Amino acid sequence: MVRAIVGANWGDEGKGKITDMLAKESDIVIRFQGGSNAGHTIINNYGKFALHLLPSGVFYGHTTSIIGNGVALNIPYLLDEIKSLTDKGVPAPKILVSDRAQIMMPYHVLFDTYEEERLGGKSFGSTKSGIAPFYSDKYAKIGFQVSELFDEAVLEEKVNRVCEMKNILLEHLYHKPAIDPKELFQTLLEYRDMIRPYVCDVSSFLHDAIKEGKNILLEGQLGSLKDPDHGIYPMVTSSSTLAAYGAIGAGIPPYEIKNITTVVKAYSSAVGAGAFVSEIFGQEADELRRRGGDGGEFGATTGRPRRMGWFDAVASRYGCRIQGATEVALTVLDVLGYLDELPVCVGYDIDGKVTKDFPTTVELEKAKPVYTKLPGWKCDIRGIRTYEELPKECRDYVEFIEKELGVKITMVSNGPGRDEIIYRK
Ligand code: GDP
């Protein structure tokens, strides 16, 4: 059975925790898109970890962790991340990397930084992990697949060809030092030796695993609203964040994805630029940011303070629909126990007309939030393990959101730990 765990919002919904939790019953966990640009924070018996490239199943001895072909593979980063786990006493995880995954080149990271510099105030708020240049090159057909590392002659010729193009941009657009193709070729040979033990025909491996009835998790990064097609373009990421892309980024048939567990955050947070209708500011935002997540809402990759907002039912319903959510996990509900009342954005006012449909970016820029207020529960709900034990106001909030989403909330997360979860029938 294949299950996808994906985000309905702007990312940072707590997918890492839900994946880590569900990985206990899984044989295989796969990353199928994105790269080291976002992070999952996971807390377990070994300590607290910020994973950027590895799937969240790496902490279990019985799971195979896979980097699918859809991922932007930063090879030295991956090896460092593996080492950071084993250094903390986590048993060496079983890792496979698709022979069709493409490689994050050192110049992708440079181009990302240079382009943000060039754009100045008009930048996209990139994490400068090289993601946009990487995917641009992939689709321009000048990327490097892992498989290409293993034919030196072909590799060298391609390195020379690509450097010629890159160096024109470096010299004339960015006024930065050129790339030395010889040096780059040597670096790639080093990458080859680093990655060799992990390389695998992942699609074929998964084909057999599905036939054998293995439990497989597809772990998404970021959320619906950062999808390049269905999100808030151009303030999006460069690979699809949707469960549907799991089929492509892992190499499995789309109809095998039976469950789409969509993670929805009980309030809103976002990083980077772009319209954020239910955003809050000042003290109100500071307080939610300080109390949010586990130790505050600050980026797992960059440490940047996240933008904060109230729950946005319009964006979240759309986020669930575009994922094809079959169930919802509602996270970080415990954080909201301090509030007297909880505003929920139930509509967007665009030029005096209220809509419940999530619009395209141009319209979104004009949207003003329409709020409904729900009473707060004014207590700490951490430690509660059954739904009935939650205060009535808290259940009302969950059920209000469920109605707005139109998807069953099967799990409520009330703390960062693996066991801090309430299952609902
Ligand atoms: P991801 O990228 O979707 O995995 O999200 P992040 O890991 O960036 O953000 C989630 C943050 O919230 C992490 O620090 C988690 O440890 C924490 N977290 C996850 N679920 C809960 C929850 O139910 N309650 C609290 N308080 N923190 C949570």
CATH number attached to the domain at 264-423: 3.90.170.10
How far apart CA 357 and CA 180 sit, in angstroms, is: 51
Amino acid at 109: V
Give the residue whose CA is nearest to atom 23 of ligand 1. 332
Of 237, 283, 289, 286, the closest CA to residue 268 belongs to 289
Q: Which helix (H) or strand (E) holds 368?
A: strand 368-375
Estimate the crossing angle of helix 106-119 against helix 131-139, to 10 degrees: 110
Q: Is 231 a pocket residue for ligand 1 (Cβ < 6 Å)?
A: no
- Whether the Cβ atoms of residue 11 and residue 222 lie closer than 8 Å to each other: yes
- Span from the CA of 48 to the centroid of ligand 1 (angstroms): 12
- Whether the Cβ atoms of residue 412 and residue 330 lie closer than 8 Å to each other: yes
102: tokens are 């493409």
How far apart CA 130 and CA 116 sit, in angstroms, is: 11
The neighbouring-strand residues paired with 268 are: 309
Class of domain 2-101+197-261: alpha beta
**The pLDDT of residue 294:** 83
Substitution candidate for ligand 1 out of 42, 294, 304, 336 with most atoms within 8 A of CB = 294
Give the residue whose CA is nearest to atom 18 of ligand 1. 416
- Span from the CA of 174 to the centroid of ligand 1 (angstroms): 38
**The pLDDT of residue 57:** 85
Domain ranges of the chain: 2-101+197-261, 102-195, 264-423
Substitution candidate for ligand 1 out of 41, 301, 384 with most atoms within 8 A of CB = 41
How far apart CA 246 and CA 71 sit, in angstroms, is: 11
16: tokens are 């890492």
**The pLDDT of residue 301:** 67
Q: Is 16 a pocket residue for ligand 1 (Cβ < 6 Å)?
A: yes
Q: Is 341 exposed, middle or buried (0-12, 13-18, 19+ CB in 10 A)?
A: exposed
112: tokens are 């990302």
- Span from the CA of 150 to the centroid of ligand 1 (angstroms): 39
Query: Could you list the pLDDT tens digit for every one of the 425 residues in the chain?
Result: 999 999 999 999 999 899 989 999 999 999 999 998 877 777 888 888 888 999 988 989 999 999 999 999 999 999 999 999 999 999 999 999 999 999 999 999 999 999 988 988 777 777 788 999 999 999 999 999 999 999 999 999 999 999 999 999 999 999 999 999 999 999 999 999 999 999 999 999 999 999 999 999 999 999 999 999 999 999 999 999 999 999 999 999 999 999 999 999 999 999 888 899 999 999 999 999 999 988 899 876 677 899 999 999 999 999 999 999 999 999 999 999 999 999 999 999 999 999 999 999 999 999 999 999 999 999 999 999 999 999 999 999 999 999 999 999 999 999 998 899 999 98
Of 321, 303, 235, 311, the closest CA to residue 269 belongs to 311
How far apart CA 51 and CA 59 sit, in angstroms, is: 11
**The pLDDT of residue 23:** 92
Q: Is 71 a pocket residue for ligand 1 (Cβ < 6 Å)?
A: no
CA 369 vs. chain centroid, Å, equals 26
- Whether the Cβ atoms of residue 161 and residue 203 lie closer than 8 Å to each other: no
**The pLDDT of residue 221:** 94
Fold agreement between 2-101+197-261 and 264-423: no
- Whether the Cβ atoms of residue 25 and residue 232 lie closer than 8 Å to each other: no
Instruction: Report the first-to-last Cα separation within the chain, whole angstroms.
Output: 20
- Whether the Cβ atoms of residue 29 and residue 56 lie closer than 8 Å to each other: yes
How far apart CA 187 and CA 392 sit, in angstroms, is: 60
Amino acid at 404: E
Q: Is position 40 annotated as part of the catalytic site? A: yes
How far apart CA 68 and CA 102 sit, in angstroms, is: 10
How far apart CA 127 and CA 101 sit, in angstroms, is: 21
255: tokens are 């109809």
Q: Using the 8-state DSSP alphabet, how is residue 123 labeled? A: -
How far apart CA 138 and CA 141 sit, in angstroms, is: 5
**The pLDDT of residue 82:** 94
Would you list the DSSP string of 225-285?
GG-TTTSSTTSS-SS--SHHHHHHHHT--GGGEEEEEEEEESSEEE-SSS--TTEE-HHHH
Give the residue whose CA is nearest to atom 16 of ligand 1. 416
How far apart CA 374 and CA 311 sit, in angstroms, is: 11
Q: Is 413 a pocket residue for ligand 1 (Cβ < 6 Å)?
A: yes
Q: Using the 8-state DSSP alphabet, how is residue 129 labeled? A: S
Q: Is position 12 annotated as part of the catalytic site? A: yes
The neighbouring-strand residues paired with 264 are: 330
Class of domain 102-195: mainly alpha
How far apart CA 93 and CA 313 sit, in angstroms, is: 39
